[in-house]
Amino acid sequence: MIEGEELASLLPHRGSMLLLTRVNEYNLEERFLCAEYHITEDCVFYDPVIKGVPAWVAFEFLAQSIGALYGIRDRIRGEPPKMGFILSVSSMKIDIPLFCLGTTVELKVTEISSMDQIHNFEVTAFLEGRKVLEGKLTVMDVTDEQIKSIIKENN
């Protein structure tokens, strides 16, 4: 189990943008990770009107789970965590409208293909063992140089 400061060291996200509570299981050889996020009022996406977090936000939870998988890989290589970008979300199926305050979302990401900096994942979210969301995420690793270039172009 990975949580707290150790978990934070795997991802470039900080403060309210860190949207994982813990990593429960991972396997770099089989390219999967299981994590969870506990919904609190401190979540940057928490909406007091609906007393929860819209279910579509789970794709950010899942993207951070992918980031944690690569963060573990990078730590083993002696490298710092890298930023990544969600390029696409496809085959999305969400069975609930929101994650209620106090619930814990269980997350599973499995890499199904990879080419250069582009990685495709099957992703799933569960509540109390019931699948409530599934889909595919395509993400891209970015280098520090690429990030600096993007920031420069947008300033």
This prediction has a pTM of 0.89
Provide the 8-state DSSP code for 40: -
CA distances for 93 relative to 48, 60, 147, angstroms: 25, 15, 31
How confident is the model over 7-56, as pLDDT tens digits? Answer: 888 887 777 788 999 999 999 999 999 999 999 999 999 999 999 999 99
- Every domain of the chain and the residues it spans: 2-154
CATH fit for domain 2-154, picks 3.40.50.460, 3.30.460.10, 3.30.870.10, 3.10.129.10: 3.10.129.10
The answer to whether 46 and 98 are in contact (CB under 8 A) is: no
Residues 86-115: tens digit of each pLDDT: 899 999 999 999 999 999 999 999 999 999
